[in-house]
Structure 1
Amino acid sequence: MEYTGDEIAVVGLAGRFPAAPDVPTLWRNLLDGVDAVHDHTVEELRSLGVGESLIADPTHVRGHGRLAGVADFDADFFDVPEAEARAMDPQQRLFLEQSWVALQDAAVDPTDGERAVGVFAGASANRYFLFRLLARQAGEDRHAEEDWEERLASRWAPDYLPTQVAYRLGLTGPAIAVQTACSSSLVAVCTAAQSLLDFRCDVALAGGVSVTEPRFRHTPGGLVSPDGRCRAFDAAGQGSGYGSGVAVVVLERLADALERGAQVHAVLRGWAVNNDGSARAGFAVPGLDGQVAVVTEAMASTSVTGADIGYVEAHGSGTLVGDAIEVASLTQAFGEAAGSCALGSVKTNLGNLDAAAGAAGLIKAVLAVKHATIPANLHHDVPNPEIDFAGGPFFVPVKTTEWTRSDRLAGVSSFGLGGTNAHVIVEQPPVEDPREDPVGPRVLVVSARTPDALRSLAARLGAHLAAEPGLRLDDVAHTLASRQRYACRVSTACGDITSAIAWLDRVAAGGGSAGEDSAGEGSAGRDAAVVDRPDVDGPDADVDRTLRSGRVVSLPHHPLQPRRHWIEVSS
């Protein structure tokens, strides 16, 4: 398809998910059909502070998308005082961390002053405040209710999620909280994309975060399934269990991304947001007309038809009525010209990540169009009898399959309780023009906040280069030079990947000291280590040339050193 100039590039990905500490692990789990929902034991529930009456309740749902390390945070790295870090909503801590990781993946330096970076994000209810801070305060002070209003400070309310990120990372674009229940993070993506088209910012972080615990009950006809599994589009669907996770994407105008050599994971061709209004059976019931309208508008905004789309990452609530309405609306929106189209939901792998669900689904779709692979939809045995699959273009893939179409487009839907709907059209990344092999040495710059972190990062980079032999030296140099610089820094000029790995191994082992100037093995220039100096002469003077002669690739980010910051409350 031809580009019109209104496209938005996805140039960075980050997140933490049940059974997946990062996006690459999430993708491997999706390809392998991993069910990441965890069945908690009684001992685990008690350790979370879940009460005995709930544990004994036969309707209590023990299956939950558990997120490892929720209590941990590198407060020093983000300059958050210890006491504040302990009281801060862990959702804000997680989203701050992953926003920074996403900028590292995109090789965007938020401190360069050249680009206004916006933040658009949503969070779930602050359960840490409800189940820990408030419970502890109430237990310690019988007059605690008098202080509640004062204690609803910026570190607790979801309103302050994006502004915390803007403050901690020094971002000057719009910082807007988006709260539309389960559709929050995908609505945030749509809002960010429109802000970029309107030139309100130059780069945008968009996504969502949710931290929940296994405190849910199953009720017949409700949203939570008995075992915490989501059986989207299946006859056994009884809702979806909840889970914790955070998903962040970095967006940039496509033309700008291509000009700076960004790594384009996928392209957003169009998007739309609306509400069902009153044309539905109840406030919590989805509306057919609203869902038809939002999908139709998103396709119309980029002249895409149902025949062009090969995969839809659905909202997939796992309820018989909700799934039937969603497929009926898609069938109507796609029209008679629609071709065969796969249908899936990441909720079948992770559970419902609430405010992060839409962005998690978007990341899955981005990776699907990028890698030409459609992951299996789990827990699908017998089709939902309320869905007319025979009368429409959709099928549910139960095995991971190759996406054979040369023009890969996907739709991503997310529908919030209360009727706010979002749909995004995602296209495969542009085909890269062929390039000649790099000629001459390239300057590698590795920096970190502390000497220990510098050595750790060098070790991670060396292992990554050894494991990815297809990487180009100019791309590695370009990516490292584009990232934010820290006080502890080493740099050298290398002629090839082999010499780069050897140099990184020496740095990881503690080689080099401040002011050292020596020729490294296989190096075309100096091997200089510079500590605690913001500006460097020598090899760094050639960084401008490095920035002009490569493209961004995914590389390991600066290591974080999280420690436990958590308030315990007994059951």
Structure 2
Amino acid sequence: MQPVAIVGIDCRFPGAPDPAAYWDLLMRSGDGVGPVPEQRWNADDFYSAAGADGHSNTTSGGFITDADAFDHEFFAISPREAAAMDPQQRLLLQCAWRAVEDTGVAPRSLAGTATGVFVGVMGNEWAHLHLTDYARVTAQVGSGNGYCMTANRISYHLDLKGPSLAVDTACSSSLVAVHLACNALLAGECDTAIAAGVNVALTPALGIFYTQAGLSAPDGRCKPFSSDANGIGRGEGVGAVVLRRLEDAIADGQPVYAVIRGTAVNQDGRSNGLTAPNRWSQQEVLTAAYRRAGVEPSDVAFTEGHGTGTVLGDMIEVKALGGLHADRTGKPMALGSVKGNLGHTEGAAGVAGLIKVALSLHHRVVPASRFAARENPALKLSRYGLRLLKAPLRLAAGATVGGLSSFGMGGTNAHAVLESAPAHAARPKAGAAAGSTGIGTAVFTLTAPTAQALRRNLVAQADTLQRHRVVPAGVVGWSSNRLKTGHRFRFAVPADSTGDLVTALRRAAGDEDQPADLTAESAGPVRPALLFTGQGSQYPGMTAGLYRDAPLFRRFLDRADEALLPHTGGSVRELLLSADPAVHRTGWAQPALFAVGYALAATLTELGVRPALLLGHSVGEYAAAVVAEALPLEEAARLIAARGRLMQELPEGGGMLAVRADATELAERVDAEPLVGIAAVNGPASTVLSGDLTALARIEEELTRAGVRSRRLEVSHAFHSPLMDPMLERFAAVAEQAGGTVPALPVHSTLRGRLLRDEPMDAAYWVEHVRAPVLFADAARQLLDEAPTHLLEIGPRPVLAPMTRRLLTAPDGAGVRSVHPVPGEQAGGRELAEAVAELFRGGVDIAWDAVYADQDRVAHRLAPYAFSDDHRFWARRPVPAAPPATVPQQEGGQPAGQRPEAARPVVLSQGRRTAADPVTEAVLDAVAQVGSYAPGAITPRSRLYEDLGFDSVMVMELKKRIEERLPDLEPLSVEELLPRLSSIGDLIGYVGERRSAAA
């Protein structure tokens, strides 16, 4: 059999709410058995000392805590549906999600894939309690029950397209489910499989059966292979593993807990009783599993037995094992059973054992077997080559093999052979050239469906990372980027160390105000606008810190320097790194700004920023043209170098004057001076004049007398003025060689003051560009009309984004974010990471691999999603839709979906419900009633499908209730209604229109 890897695990068992607690329970030989919780049933009504008259002989068992808690908001399930669902479905949904997360894969990324779901389940007591009350059966009760739905729920909510089935072979159900999952993987039916088991004891029925059959332990405890063994103690729990073909897991760099080498399933057939075990069938299933695994019995270091603690069951199992292991002289095989810690978890027993074996191989130690101190001498374990572990067994280095048995009460037997994971490390995927990625600082990300959920998960991550401070921040960040994604509220924060990250997470979680700065709700598609700064923004050493910290930026600046070098006679890179003040000379300033602009834009593009709009101020348009594919890098480099050189060669004596006035107000004065021109129009009261110094002095004097403020600019030449004319002919010759085409991306030209439409950025364009004014304000206003979501400053300091924002009206500017990758002269990798975090919070899907160096792209298991336990669902009868203006009640008066001590409404959207018109009130009340939401818990912003969990059945009921509340409304058409159901607000608008039309 081709090996199958266990790459993800989650579980919840008595005394162990998660895998870490489960392992701790096993290692300390802990006991998860206790009294029957009051929530389940009145134990006294079903208990008698002798177990006679249809009663159970015990009031104890292994029960999980908070089995009624369910984060229905996370899965967009209405309270009404959640209250009708079998708790086993609810537990499986959360467990499957966390198991997938444990693989290092975001669960939402599996949507649409042929991932399979295989669930072992033995009991369906919820259905027995609810489907027999015929008057209260609803559509939700129907879909909330049934074996098939335990698997189908997972497939539905994760949008998985592979095989999806539930298996009931009694006690062996979940190991048989694992067997089927492995076979589906090896047959190519799926590439990933979730195999799970679940058991929740809702009634004493099975305990009574065990008692009447003489199988029940009076103290509710299984005591496997012990002289004290006197029967079965019931247990419950849920566990899930994620399986992949080993070669695929290794190829994808997924950490592997253990490897399944072989599985086998058979049946007792007609033996010594339907419910009695059969030694020879058990021995045969062991032999088949060993054969498929390609191992000899002597290779198996330990076996997790079925070990229920019944006299007959333990005896037959030992003899079956002994039939294959009796010749292990001096090296007996270790034997144990987790049922001694948990009780018999029935449908979940197989997966409970599987997880124990996988964790034992992973940690390279097998926990001691509870109750092993009083070994049953009648079993003659040593004769059969077996021994019970009275202390943990340290496994030797190298490959280790372990076995697992699970036998069904009806005769279906299963066995699995597991091996320790191969000695390999999860390695980063090959990407760009080695050492050419990374920005020097990690960015930790987290998403959640609500702000409250985000804060809760910040705490969970901080608590776990507190114990793993030695893990590099890059490894933690990269893992979070891949895993904690897909929800509406996005959190991101840079981190240079894991210790600093823990502090930042706790600060954000504990401060009611800070998350607003670090978190955003992603809303719709992003439209980044790249603004390329022009001459005047340069300074010695600009972006040197970023070059030092960020190999990704370094790669692109080196590329630009290489393209410029044949035309500049020296290295722009060395000029910047040495902080040479010569950068202010025009011949160096323009190529240097081009190199920085190109490198920043290329870096952001590599990081996943896809420019929607481009704008360059004067020489900034050269880098913009390269990004827009209107000029190749090499030709743009030749052109900008020639431009700077030719301008530098012009005689000095020109200058520039910034004036706080509109260009039209200055036109008369400029026309009167032939050697002066308008160089730039940056805003309604921001104009730059350029030309002869003497002429500019005359204009400046006139403006001062008129009370108009002006300021001389520190420049070497009069750019964009008539004084540029002597260079135009020589520049045109270079431009003709460079060429230029129509940009492939929208460029808002500051030469034309508008969007270029099928116009090439060719030689004629660039020659005119030297002399003509920079129409920044016109180009920026038109760019803003295109509704950018981000203004990204592509230059060495923030210049254009603030200028652009001043052109915004107040309402228009509310949703536009300004992002500065290089916000100051000391900026480096940390500041670029801040910009990446801001972009992610604003909805940009970052290409995270580019953020990290090769050695950081290694999977690390983070804390799984922390589900809310605020909402409780434990009705002994189905909960119907709430009558108007009431909260749905359970038996005993407890509100469905809430804690008894804190009955609060379920809030899925922000905002408060206020007095509204009859249509709004009618729609909100109908929605609340159909979904069993508390009054005031929903708002017009709530989305019916994504937030409130409505489906077609609920929509039909919603239509009927709205019509009942608004008798003057004509009957609603389902065909017209369905397209209007994206939000409650849309529905209110549609119903209002129909009501007005009827009136």
Tell me the TM-score normalized by structure 2: 0.52
Q: 1:96 aligns with which of 72, 93, 96?
A: 93
Deviation at 1:115, TM superposition (A): 4.1
**1:409 is the counterpart of 2:401:** yes
Q: Secondary structure at the match of 1:181?
A: coil
Q: 2:833 aligns with which of 526, 548, 570?
A: 526
**1:362 is the counterpart of 2:354:** yes
**Counterparts of 2:138 and 2:295 in 1: how far apart (Å)?**
49
| Partner in structure 1 of residue 54 of structure 2 | none
Q: 2:25 aligns with which of 29, 37, 52?
A: 29
1:373-384 mapped onto 2 (5 Å cutoff): 373-384=365-376
| Partner in structure 2 of residue 270 of structure 1 | 262
Deviation at 1:408, TM superposition (A): 1.8
Give the conservation status (yes or no) of the 8 Å contact 2:127–2:146. no
**Counterparts of 1:542 and 1:471 in 2: how far apart (Å)?**
18
Q: Which amino acid aligns with 1:123?
A: V
Q: Secondary structure at the match of 1:423?
A: strand
**1:550 is the counterpart of 2:857:** yes
Q: Secondary structure at the match of 2:108?
A: coil
Q: Secondary structure at the match of 1:72?
A: coil
Q: Return closer, same or farther for 1:177/1:421 CA change in 2, 3 Å cut-off.
A: same
Q: Deviations over 1:338-382 (max 9, x none)?
A: 742110000000000000000001101111111111111112344
Q: What is the identity percentage for the equivalent residue pairs of Structure 1 and Structure 2?
A: 33
Task: Show structure 1 runs of 5+ residues with no match.
Answer: 138-143
| Partner in structure 2 of residue 489 of structure 1 | 490
Give the conservation status (yes or no) of the 8 Å contact 2:280–2:320. yes
RMSD over aligned Cα, in angstroms? 3.0
Q: Deviations over 1:284-330 (max 9, x none)?
A: 01111111111111111121111111110000021111111111111
Give the conservation status (yes or no) of the 8 Å contact 1:242–1:353. yes
Q: Deviations over 1:197-218 (max 9, x none)?
A: 1111111110110001572246
Give the conservation status (yes or no) of the 8 Å contact 1:377–1:397. yes
Q: Deviations over 1:256-287 (max 9, x none)?
A: 11122212111111111111112x21000111
Greater Rg, structure 1 or structure 2? 2
Q: Which amino acid aligns with 2:344?
A: N
**1:78 is the counterpart of 2:385:** no
Task: Show structure 2 runs of 5+ residues with no match.
Answer: 52-56, 429-434, 521-816, 878-890, 893-999
Q: Secondary structure at the match of 1:307?
A: helix
Q: Secondary structure at the match of 1:412?
A: strand
| Partner in structure 2 of residue 190 of structure 1 | 179
| Partner in structure 1 of residue 707 of structure 2 | none
Q: Secondary structure at the match of 2:255?
A: coil
**Counterparts of 2:849 and 2:426 in 1: how far apart (Å)?**
23
Q: Which amino acid aligns with 2:304?
A: E
| Partner in structure 2 of residue 290 of structure 1 | 281
**1:176 is the counterpart of 2:165:** yes
Q: 2:318 aligns with which of 308, 313, 327?
A: 327
Q: Which has the larger displacement, 93-102 or 297-306?
A: 297-306
Give the conservation status (yes or no) of the 8 Å contact 2:103–2:254. yes
**Counterparts of 2:29 and 2:399 in 1: how far apart (Å)?**
25
Q: Return closer, same or farther for 1:56/1:301 CA change in 2, 3 Å cut-off.
A: closer
**Counterparts of 2:308 and 2:195 in 1: how far apart (Å)?**
22
**Counterparts of 2:105 and 2:354 in 1: how far apart (Å)?**
21
Q: Which amino acid aligns with 2:249?
A: A
| Partner in structure 2 of residue 208 of structure 1 | 197
Q: Which amino acid aligns with 1:370?
A: H
Q: Secondary structure at the match of 2:143?
A: coil
Q: Return closer, same or farther for 1:83/1:152 CA change in 2, 3 Å cut-off.
A: closer
Q: Which amino acid aligns with 1:415?
A: F
Aligned residues: 551
| Partner in structure 2 of residue 472 of structure 1 | 472
Q: Return closer, same or farther for 1:304/1:517 CA change in 2, 3 Å cut-off.
A: same
**Counterparts of 1:244 and 1:283 in 2: how far apart (Å)?**
24
Q: Secondary structure at the match of 1:485?
A: coil
Deviation at 1:220, TM superposition (A): 7.6
**Counterparts of 2:4 and 2:449 in 1: how far apart (Å)?**
33
Q: Which has the larger displacement, 501-510 or 289-298?
A: 501-510
Deviation at 1:492, TM superposition (A): 4.4
Q: Deviations over 1:493-534 (max 9, x none)?
A: 544324433443443342425447588999463336669978
Give the conservation status (yes or no) of the 8 Å contact 1:481–1:543. no
Q: Return closer, same or farther for 1:86/1:494 CA change in 2, 3 Å cut-off.
A: same
Q: Return closer, same or farther for 1:434/1:491 CA change in 2, 3 Å cut-off.
A: closer
Q: Return closer, same or farther for 1:534/1:192 CA change in 2, 3 Å cut-off.
A: farther
Q: Which amino acid aligns with 1:500?
A: L
Q: Secondary structure at the match of 1:283?
A: coil
Q: Which amino acid aligns with 1:501?
A: V
**Counterparts of 1:169 and 1:380 in 2: how far apart (Å)?**
42
**Counterparts of 2:34 and 2:84 in 1: how far apart (Å)?**
27
Q: Which amino acid aligns with 1:86?
A: A
Q: Return closer, same or farther for 1:486/1:534 CA change in 2, 3 Å cut-off.
A: farther
Q: 1:163 aligns with which of 134, 152, 162?
A: 152
Q: Return closer, same or farther for 1:239/1:496 CA change in 2, 3 Å cut-off.
A: same
Q: Which has the larger displacement, 433-442 or 419-428?
A: 433-442
Give the conservation status (yes or no) of the 8 Å contact 2:68–2:873. yes
Higher relative contact order (CA 8 A, sep 6+): 1
| Partner in structure 1 of residue 442 of structure 2 | 442
Q: 1:19 aligns with which of 6, 15, 18?
A: 15
**Counterparts of 2:49 and 2:839 in 1: how far apart (Å)?**
58
Q: Secondary structure at the match of 2:172?
A: helix
**Counterparts of 2:76 and 2:137 in 1: how far apart (Å)?**
26
| Partner in structure 2 of residue 461 of structure 1 | 461
Q: Secondary structure at the match of 1:153?
A: helix
Q: Which amino acid aligns with 2:234?
A: Y
**Counterparts of 1:256 and 1:223 in 2: how far apart (Å)?**
44
Q: Secondary structure at the match of 1:270?
A: strand
| Partner in structure 2 of residue 141 of structure 1 | none
**Counterparts of 2:26 and 2:343 in 1: how far apart (Å)?**
13
**1:501 is the counterpart of 2:502:** yes
Q: Which amino acid aligns with 1:558?
A: Y
Give the conservation status (yes or no) of the 8 Å contact 1:487–1:531. no
| Partner in structure 2 of residue 233 of structure 1 | 225
| Partner in structure 2 of residue 560 of structure 1 | 867
**1:372 is the counterpart of 2:370:** no
Give the conservation status (yes or no) of the 8 Å contact 2:172–2:413. yes
Deviation at 1:403, TM superposition (A): 2.5
Tell me the TM-score normalized by structure 1: 0.88
Deviation at 1:118, TM superposition (A): 1.0
**Counterparts of 1:184 and 1:281 in 2: how far apart (Å)?**
21
Q: Return closer, same or farther for 1:134/1:531 CA change in 2, 3 Å cut-off.
A: farther
| Partner in structure 2 of residue 259 of structure 1 | 251
| Partner in structure 2 of residue 7 of structure 1 | 3
